Every structure is written in C-alpha cells, then in structure tokens.
C-alpha cells in the first residue's frame, strides 16, 4: 500500500460506505495538489469531498475554513463538523457568534472571510484549504461579488474545494478558476443519489377525484394529461367566445386534498412549497382547524419536549406575541410553516422536528431550498409561477431543480417524488419542459462596490488592481462573449460587402441616386406627419403617401395619433406617424351616409359592416383622384442610374447593406463595452470617490479609510453620514433609530405609512441624510452607476419603542412579522457594531455600543444565540 493510499484510507475511515466514482475523482485532484469544482445534485455526497479537504489541512498541521452563504447553514455545518471532529477542533465565526475562533477548522459566512482577507488577518497565514459551499451563489445579485472577491484575493497557495449545484458550464468555471488560482479540476456528477419521479396533480370534475399522474412517460410529456388539458383549453376558448362547449374538466386541488393524496400514496414526509408567507401560515392553520393529525401520542410527547427546550430564552409575553400556542398545536399535529417571516427559534424547531421525522408536512417558501439539509420523500410545488414584484414568472429549470433537490432521502427512499399542482396559468407542456431541462448556466454577478474599490486602493497598486479585476469571472465570461461577437461581426461584414457589390451600378453613382430620389425614413419630418394626422376627421379623403384613403376614425394614444383608414381596394389599416414617409394631405370629404358616427372624435360604430365598407371603397375609387406630385421626372430620368435595368434590385441590395451596417455598429459597440468592462466600472467608481473626497492620487483619505471598514449595501452613504457627523450627539436610542434608516426597507405593494419621528432632532437629521442621499444618487446616475437604495425612516418609531424596553406584541402588525422584525434588528446591530468600532468621534462609538445593548434583548437576543444541540 502506497503512502498516498494509506492517507486516503485514514481520511475516509469513519465512513461506512465506498466512495462514488465522482468522489474518487475529487480525491485524486486534491491529492495531486489541485483545487476542485464539484457540481452535483443535492444529497449526492459533496460534503464528503469537503471533509476530505479539511482532513488534509489537519494532517498538514494547518487550518481549514468552511464557508457558507447564510448564517443558518453555517450554524448547521458547525454542529455537523463538531460531531465529526469534536468541539475542541471546530470554531464558528458569523455576525452573531464567535466560538473557538482559533480552532484548526473554522466555519464562517463568505462575507466574514472576505472581510478577513481585506483586513489581512493573521488567521490566514496558516490557511491550507477553503471550502466554498453553494458556490453557485456567484450569480446572486447581492452576494455574488463577495464570492469572486474571495476567490481572486485568497493566496494562490490555498486550495479551494468549491461545491455547487449541477451547472451546465462547470468546465468554463473550472477553466476560470485555473486561470485565477492554478490547476482546478471540474468534477461533475449528473445522477441524483435517489431517483426523482416527476408527478402532476389535478382535480378531475368528471369524477371529482384528485389525479396524480406521472409528468413524463418514456421521456415525453404524459399524453393522458395532455389530452385532459387539451379539453380544458378548448373549453376556455369557447367560453371566451361566448359559447357553451364541453364542461371544464380540470380544477386545482385544495392543499388539504393534496395532503390526503400524499398520505394515501405513502409520500410523507413532504415539503409543500408555496411562494407566499401568508399562504404558508394559512395552510398550516387550515390543517390544524380541520383536525388533521399526522402524529402518534408518543411523537407528540417528544415534540413537546423538544419545543420546550428550544424556547427557554423567550419570555411568556414574547411567546404570546409570537402565537406560540397555535404554533405548538400545529407542530404537535405534525404540520408546520417555514419562511423568513418566522423568528429563527421557531424555524429551527421546525427544522429539527422535520429531520427527526416528527413533523410530516412543512408549508415553506423557496428559502427552505437554500442550504439547509431537510430531505423529504416528496416535494410539492403549489404553483409553477411566482410573483417577482412586478409580474408572474414561470419557474426556471434551475429553480425547479433547487426545489426538487430535497425530494428523496438517501438510504431511506428508493425514489423521491416531485409533485406539481395544476393551475390554469402554466400549461402542462411548460411543466414537462422544465422537468426535462438540464440547463443551468452559472453567470457572474460581479460588480465593483465602493468598499471593494477603497480596499483595492489600500492594498494594491493601480496595475495590480486592474489585473485583479480582469481576473473576475464577469470579465472572463465577457471576454469569451467578445469572441462570439467578433465572429458575428466578421460574418455580417462579409454579407454587407456582398450586398454593396450587388448594389454597384456601372451606369452611375447609386448612392447619389438614393440620396436624391429615394426617401430615407430616418430623415422624414415625423412632427409634420403627426400634425397632419391630428387634423384629420372621419369622412376626410386624404393621400397617405401614394394612396388615397378614407378616414373612418381617429384616436389619440400615448404614442401618438392612430388613424383607421379604408382604401379603394377595401383594405382597412390603422396608421400612425411611424408608418408614413410624408405628411397626409386632405383632398376632399365624403358624407358617411347610413353610418352611425359617435365616440371620441367621431369614431364609427359599425365600421366592420362589409356592406358599408364596400360602398365606401367604391366611392373612393369613383373620385378618380390624381396622385400628388412626385420629384420632377426629368431629374430622376436624367440621372445615369435610371438607365440601369436592374435598378430596383440594386436599390434593395443597398438598403439591406445599410441595415446590416447599422447592426454592425451595434455589435462593435457591444464588443467595445465588453472589453475590460469590469475595469471601466471600477474607473467610474474611483472617479466618484475622488469627487466625494475618499481617494486622492491612489491614496485613501481618512474618509476612505473609514469606508474600507464599512460592510453594507449602502456603504458609501453610511460612511458619508458617519464622517460628516450625522450620527454624532445622538443618545443611544436615537442613534439606533437613525441607523435603522440604512437597514430597513419597506417592501409592501401598498403605499408606506408616514414615518414617525420621536424628536425634532431625529427628523432634522433624517432630512439632512435624505439630502446627502439624493446628491449621491444624482452623481451615481450621471456616472452610469446604479444608484444606491435610499434611506427609509419607516422603522424609526419601532426601534425607538424597542430600545426603550417596549413589548414585542406592541410592535408586530400586518407589515411587521416576527421574522422581519428580528432580521432587521440583527442587521441594525451589525451596523451599530461597525459604528462602535470605526466612528471617528469617541462619544459616538460609546453611544453605538450602548445602542447595541438596548436592542439586543428578548427575542432578538434569543435569535442571536447558538441553538443548544444545533438542528440535528
């Protein structure tokens, strides 16, 4: 046995199963000194590869970091690793907790590692391996840049174990990682550890049954469901036309009906995804009201014991405000909701109970699909579309894969089931198409933030910075896109040259002929055309370019005047200024005999009557109008090109060449934008920071140093507020209330209520802050940068009440859920701690520390403390 094989056996000794081939590939890469990108389905065993890398760090006497995108996943991973390695060898570092931070294995959020890199933490000196879990977060608009900052800025000697969901461009990502960090092997596993069976549920009105059918039969959409839906679509069409047709056949099953179906088909435990917090809560409550009980007496006793242990830190008043009694009744029945509007304690209880098999059904939003390990026998998707804030959008294949990744428990279930419930807005064919799709391309969301910019200035030269930015995945993918664009430019340039050659006339200058005698729609006087249409009235006979037509109706739309015109050949057209080359000229007026004329500017009610239109068309013809004068025939005929027998063909070729050359201009501009696109945005950011006094001659000013230590989505606005003294001379409670304007964001579709200020001082400070924010937004917009989110005073009164010792029950309402309250308070605490650490005014630092203590109490404190025993 070779030393390397002995080492591998030692690292894998605690596992009671043989590694899969894809895991062996990853082990081989790590043993060869390479980094790895592992793209595999949920539950396939990526964690074994991560732990293999951590074992290598321990054996080398060095450290291994495990990063996760969210705190909940970091907490779970901390407890998992403690179970493997012991609590003495594992630490945790998040915004809420710092546990055993000098341990050889340290779990953290990705943001924490980024901050350590910029701070040049000594902890990085002995770093051997970094595990980047859920690395597909690279494409997350908010978190994505952090991942790229870590990958680019980590020392090249640190080995990466990047774990991702299945992506279709894993080789491209691995090539980029190789470019940035050295040899990186892509390890791709497409097979799920548990076979997935896609199902479709709908109600059949002819039998009143709930039908549970397979979505795919022999790799194609189930023909029986297609047939049933075809009848449904036919009914809808006939109903819209006013006909009776056959009866509607399909209906959406209720959630209670679906639970009966799941239980009858032995598909529990299940996660029931609903893209609405309120509907998750209502579904769990409806089950409880119906008397549905999915647990035994023994299980209910065990549930009560676990729940009581988890809520020790909450007062009776807080529990009452959180609806604890109703929550207990639901979980004891084996039913629960899970979403971001719940306090972390309740969510952790649901997770623990579900993983122990005590809760049988969880109604959850899509946030449950991210990270937390909660496998189920079945996953139900309530609707295949979700509201984006502006419109409803069908789920992408990547989202469907993420949701259904929880279906099937390895070692327990031979098959996992993904059930989509019928609704009339997404066809079965669309559902089947998403289920069949395997395309999930990972794209960069990298952008230069203000904090990133000043930290690069602080730690690198201009040349080094530009080099680092050009190493980003965003630039790598943009550069590859440039190659494709350049290839299209070459192809289209050849086509334009061919058309120019075809347009050449041996008789004369074809371009001169076109300039003089062929109208260019781009040079026409649109205003004059629009004005001429405004003057028209029903009954007017006018020339529309070279054709006479009768005006039937006119209407003024947002984009201009629309005129409905009847021509002598009975053609009926709706014309706008965009469709005409020259202004309309009125010739005469016809009496619209027998035609009812009413409505806006005389709209004709019965203009669709073919007999009326036929008679009116005959009248137009009988007028025998003469065409308006064209350019003098003598000039056109005397031009040399007029003698070319192929003139019409050549004019068409020249027009096509013009169109292609306009397209080429756009393609070349696109290629120019893609070249060093990331560096150009960085230059724009630096220019703005120079105008605001944060950077001078590639040196940070005191303001710039402050900004380098502020980690927040509105980092520059926060730094400017601190540096300009807007946070000074505020007592701790007022300071907490003022800082809340940076973290709170009103999200309801309803208009926000007026903000309430407990003092004129706070109102005045907020007005000053709004002024700074508006000036900065204008500067950002003029620089081509995305303006920052404006401060929001909607939580000032809430924070003031809470910091003064107010009760939780008095603060919760329809717009403030317990989970939102706790999350906002934790974000507030994080920002207050940054103020306490870095504000230039000593008194402000002290007040910020006291503000943290006033906010960190009750349910907020409970949510910021590690759960006893984790979530297992």
Task: Write out 736-766 in H/E/C secondary structure.
Answer: HHHHHHHHCCCCCCCCCCCCCCCCHHHHHHH
810: left (phi over 0), alpha (psi -120 to 50) or beta: alpha
Judge if 92 and 42 occupy the same domain: yes
Cβ-contact 284, 305 below 8 angstroms: no
Identify the CATH number of the domain in which residue 371 sits: 3.40.50.300
Q: What ranges in 188-296 are assigned the alpha helix state H?
A: 223-240, 255-264, 277-289
Judge if 206 and 308 occupy the same domain: yes
pLDDT at residue 524, as a whole number: 53
Q: What is the mean pLDDT of residues 535-560?
A: 86
Range with lowest mean pLDDT among 495-499, 566-570, 697-701, 831-835: 566-570
Judge if 117 and 76 occupy the same domain: yes
CA–CA gap between residue 387 and residue 617 (Å, rounded): 49
Domain for residue 276, yes or no?
A: yes
How far, in Å, are 277, 283, 323, 498, 532 from residue 339 at the CA level?
Answer: 6, 13, 15, 61, 59
- Of 181, 172, 188, 154, give the one whose Cα is nearest residue 49: 188
Domain for residue 657, yes or no?
A: no
Q: What is the pTM of this model?
A: 0.73
Report the C-alpha dihedral over residues 361, 367, 371, 376, rounded to 10 degrees. 20
Going by pLDDT thresholds of 50, 70 and 90, the confidence category of residue 837 is: very high
**Omega within 30 of 0 (cis) for the link into 39:** no
**Residue predicted with more confidence, 96 or 621:** 621
Judge if 175 and 208 occupy the same domain: no
Domain for residue 612, yes or no?
A: yes
DSSP E strand boundaries for 137-235: 159-164, 184-188, 195-204, 209-214, 216-217, 220-221
Tokens of 169: 């461009």
- Of 28, 31, 4, 37, give the one whose Cα is nearest residue 131: 37
Q: What is the mean pLDDT of residues 562-577?
A: 88
Domain boundary among 634, 650, 668: 634
**Residue predicted with more confidence, 539 or 479:** 539
Helical (H) or strand (E) element with 695: strand 695-696
pLDDT at residue 517, as a whole number: 74
Tokens of 721: 């507020």
Task: Write out 586-655 in H/E/C secondary structure.
Answer: EEEECCCCCCCEECCCCEECCCCCHHHHHHHHHHHHHCCCCCCCCCCHHHHHHCHHHHCCCHHHHHHHHH
C-alpha 299: how far from its chain's center? 40
Range with lowest mean pLDDT among 427-441, 569-583, 625-639: 625-639
Cβ-contact 89, 105 below 8 angstroms: yes
Report the C-alpha dihedral over residues 397, 399, 401, 404, rounded to 10 degrees. -130
Q: Which residue's entry shows tokens 């497409």?
A: 190
Domain boundary among 371, 401, 436: 436
Residue 231 has pLDDT above 80, yes or no: no
Going by pLDDT thresholds of 50, 70 and 90, the confidence category of residue 411 is: confident
Q: Which residue's entry shows tokens 């949510």?
A: 863
**Residue predicted with more confidence, 668 or 779:** 779
Going by pLDDT thresholds of 50, 70 and 90, the confidence category of residue 235 is: very low
Give, rounded to a whole angstrom, the gap between the first and last alpha carbons of the chain: 38
pLDDT at residue 523, as a whole number: 45
Judge if 182 and 202 occupy the same domain: no
pLDDT at residue 525, as a whole number: 67
pLDDT at residue 577, as a whole number: 84
pLDDT at residue 303, as a whole number: 96
Q: Going by DSSP bridges, is the β-strand pair 597-598/216-217 parallel, antiparallel, or unpaired? A: unpaired
**Residue predicted with more confidence, 566 or 391:** 566
pLDDT at residue 780, as a whole number: 95
pLDDT at residue 457, as a whole number: 96
Query: Which residues partner with 213 through β-bridges?
Result: 200
Q: What is the mean pLDDT of residues 135-160?
A: 89
Cβ-contact 131, 65 below 8 angstroms: yes
CA–CA gap between residue 825 and residue 71 (Å, rounded): 15
Judge if 184 and 319 occupy the same domain: no
Domain total in the chain: 4
How far, in Å, are 532, 575, 577, 587, 803 from residue 559 at the CA level?
Answer: 15, 12, 10, 26, 53
CA–CA gap between residue 152 and residue 155 (Å, rounded): 8
Domain for residue 868, yes or no?
A: no
| Sign of the CA dihedral running 40, 41, 42, 44 | negative
Domain for residue 462, yes or no?
A: no
Instruction: Dump pLDDT digits (tens) for 82-109.
Output: 988 999 999 999 877 789 999 999 999 9
Domain for residue 706, yes or no?
A: no
Residue 389 has pLDDT above 70, yes or no: no
Judge if 212 and 162 occupy the same domain: no
Tokens of 269: 């435990």
Compute the mean pLDDT over every residue in the chain, rounded to the nearest whole number. 87
Q: What is the mean pLDDT of residues 62-87?
A: 90
Domain for residue 645, yes or no?
A: no
* Percent of the chain predicted with pLDDT > 90: 53
Going by pLDDT thresholds of 50, 70 and 90, the confidence category of residue 602 is: very low
Domain for residue 76, yes or no?
A: yes
Q: What is the mean pLDDT of residues 703-732?
A: 96
How far, in Å, are 597, 730, 756, 848, 860 from residue 760 at the CA level?
Answer: 63, 12, 10, 20, 28
Name residues whose C-beta falls within 8 Å of residue 353's C-beta, 6 or more positions apart in sequence: 303, 306, 331, 336, 359
* Percent of the chain predicted with pLDDT > 70: 90
Identify the CATH number of the domain in which residue 746 sits: 1.10.3380.30
Query: Residue 212: CA atoms inside 13 Å, Cβ hemisphere, count?
Result: 19
C-alpha 570: how far from its chain's center? 50
Judge if 323 and 353 occupy the same domain: yes
**771, burial (CB in 10 Å: exposed 0-12, middle 13-18, buried 19+):** exposed
pLDDT at residue 431, as a whole number: 92
Tokens of 389: 């804030």
Q: What is the mean pLDDT of residues 28-46?
A: 91
Judge if 101 and 44 occupy the same domain: yes
Residue 29 has pLDDT above 90, yes or no: yes
pLDDT at residue 604, as a whole number: 40
CA–CA gap between residue 766 and residue 735 (Å, rounded): 11
838 phi and psi angles, rounded to 5 deg: -130, -5
Helical (H) or strand (E) element with 298: helix 297-310
Judge if 262 and 171 occupy the same domain: no
Tokens of 527: 């205003």
Residue 534: domain span: 523-634
Judge if 597 and 726 occupy the same domain: no
Q: How many CB atoms lie under 10 A from the CB of residue 14?
A: 10
Secondary structure class of 813 (helix, strand, coil): strand
pLDDT at residue 107, as a whole number: 95
- Of 284, 326, 331, give the one whose Cα is nearest residue 305: 331
pLDDT at residue 586, as a whole number: 86
Residue 799 has pLDDT above 70, yes or no: yes
Domain boundary among 166, 188, 210: 188
CA–CA gap between residue 384 and residue 376 (Å, rounded): 19
Residue 18 has pLDDT above 80, yes or no: yes
CA–CA gap between residue 346 and residue 307 (Å, rounded): 9
Judge if 62 and 205 occupy the same domain: no
Helical (H) or strand (E) element with 58: helix 46-59
pLDDT at residue 742, as a whole number: 97
Cβ-contact 539, 601 below 8 angstroms: no
Going by pLDDT thresholds of 50, 70 and 90, the confidence category of residue 629 is: low
Q: What is the mean pLDDT of residues 281-285?
A: 95
Instruction: Dump pLDDT digits (tens) for 243-259.
Output: 444 455 788 999 999 99
Residue 608 has pLDDT above 70, yes or no: no
Q: How many CB atoms lie under 10 A from the CB of residue 511?
A: 15
């Amino acid at each position: 046995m070779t030393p390397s094989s002995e080492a591998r056996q030692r690292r894998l000794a605690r596992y009671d199963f043989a590694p899969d081939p894809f895991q062996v590939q990853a082990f081989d890469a790590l043993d060869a000194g390479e980094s790895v990108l592992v793209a595999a389905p949920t539950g396939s065993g990526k964690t074994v590869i991560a732990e293999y890398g951590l074992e290598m760090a321990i054996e080398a006497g060095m450290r291994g970091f495990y990063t996760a995108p969210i705190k909940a996943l970091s907490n779970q991973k901390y407890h998992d690793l403690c179970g493997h390695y012991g609590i003495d060898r594992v630490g945790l570092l998040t915004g809420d907790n710092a546990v055993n931070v000098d341990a050889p294995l340290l779990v953290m959020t990705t943001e924490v590692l980024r901050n350590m890199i910029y701070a040049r933490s000594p902890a990085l000196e002995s770093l051997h391996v970094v595990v980047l879990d859920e690395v597909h977060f690279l494409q997350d608009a908010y978190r994505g840049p952090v991942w790229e900052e870590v990958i680019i800025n980590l020392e090249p000697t640190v080995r990466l174990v990047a774990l991702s969901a299945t992506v279709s461009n894993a080789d491209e990502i691995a090539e980029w990682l190789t470019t940035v960090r050295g040899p990186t092997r892509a390890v791709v596993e497409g097979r799920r550890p548990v076979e997935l069976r896609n199902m479709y549920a709908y109600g059949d009105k002819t039998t009143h049954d709930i039908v549970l059918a397979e979505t795919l039969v022999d790799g194609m959409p189930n023909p029986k469901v297609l047939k049933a839906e075809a009848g449904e679509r036919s009914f809808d069409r006939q109903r819209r036309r006013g006909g009776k047709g056959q009866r509607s056949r399909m209906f959406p099953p209720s959630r209670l009906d679906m639970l009966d179906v799941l239980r009858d088909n032995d598909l529990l435990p299940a996660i029931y995804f609903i893209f609405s917090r309120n509907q998750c809560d209502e579904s769990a409550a409806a089950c409880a009201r119906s008397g549905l009980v999915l647990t035994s007496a023994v299980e209910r006793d065990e549930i009560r014991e676990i729940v009581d242990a988890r809520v020790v830190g909450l007062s009776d008043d807080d529990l009452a405000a959180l609806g604890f009694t109703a929550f207990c009744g639901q979980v004891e029945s084996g039913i629960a909701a899970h979403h971001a509007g719940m306090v972390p304690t309740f969510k952790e209880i649901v997770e623990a109970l579900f993983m122990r098999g005590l809760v049988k059904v969880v109604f959850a939003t899509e946030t449950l699909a991210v990270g937390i390990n909660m496998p189920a026998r079945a996953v139900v998707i309530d609707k295949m579309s979700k509201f984006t804030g502006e419109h409803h959008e069908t789920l992408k294949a990547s989202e469907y894969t993420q949701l259904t990744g929880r279906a099937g428990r390895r070692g327990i279930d031979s098959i996992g089931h993904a059930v989509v419930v019928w609704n009339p807005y997404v066809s079965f064919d669309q559902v089947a198409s998403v289920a069949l799709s395997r395309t999930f391309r990972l794209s960069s969301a990298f952008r230069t933030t203000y904090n990133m910019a000043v930290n690069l200035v602080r730690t690198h030269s201009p040349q080094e910075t530009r080099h680092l930015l050009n190493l980003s995945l965003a630039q790598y993918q943009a550069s590859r896109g440039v190659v494709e664009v350049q290839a299209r430019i070459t192809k289209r340039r050849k086509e334009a040259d061919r058309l120019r050659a075809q347009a050449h006339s041996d008789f004369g200058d074809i371009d001169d002929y076109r300039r003089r005698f062929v109208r260019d729609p781009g040079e026409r006087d649109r205003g004059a055309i629009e004005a001429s249409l405004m003057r028209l009235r029903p009954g007017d006979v006018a020339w529309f370019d070279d054709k006479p037509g009768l005006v039937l109706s006119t209407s003024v739309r947002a984009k201009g005047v629309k005129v409905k015109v009847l021509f002598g050949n009975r053609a009926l057209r709706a014309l706008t200024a965009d469709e005409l080359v020259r202004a309309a000229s009125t010739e005469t007026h016809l009496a619209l005999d027998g035609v009812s004329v009413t409505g806006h500017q005389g709209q004709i009610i019965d203009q669709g009557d073919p007999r009326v239109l036929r008679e009116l068309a005959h009248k137009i013809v009988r007028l025998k109008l003469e065409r308006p004068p064209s350019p003098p025939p003598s000039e056109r005929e005397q031009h040399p090109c007029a003698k070319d027998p192929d003139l019409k063909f050549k004019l068409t070729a020249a027009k096509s060449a013009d169109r292609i050359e306009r397209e080429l201009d756009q393609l070349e501009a696109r290629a120019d934008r893609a070249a060093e696109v990331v560096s150009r945005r960085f230059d724009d950011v630096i220019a703005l920071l120079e105008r605001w006094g944060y950077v001078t001659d590639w040196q940070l000013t005191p303001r710039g140093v402050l900004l380098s230590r502020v980690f927040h989505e509105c980092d520059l606005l926060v730094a400017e507020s601190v540096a300009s003294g807007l946070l000074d001379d505020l007592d701790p409670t007022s300071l907490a209330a003022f800082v809340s304007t940076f973290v709170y964001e009103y999200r309801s579709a309803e208009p926000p209520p007026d903000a309430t200020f407990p003092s004129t001082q706070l109102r005045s400070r907020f007005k000053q802050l709004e002024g700074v924010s508006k000036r900065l937004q204008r500067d950002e917009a003029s620089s081509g940068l995305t303006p920052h989110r404006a401060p929001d005073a909607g939580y000032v009164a809430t924070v003031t009440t809470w910091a003064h010792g107010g009760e939780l029950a008095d603060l919760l309402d329809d717009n403030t859920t317990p989970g939102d309250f706790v999350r906002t308070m934790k974000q507030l605490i994080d920002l207050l701690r940054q103020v306490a650490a870095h504000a230039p005014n000593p008194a402000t630092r002290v007040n910020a520390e006291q503000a943290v203590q006033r906010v960190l109490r009750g349910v907020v404190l409970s949510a910021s403390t590690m759960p006893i025993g984790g979530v297992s």
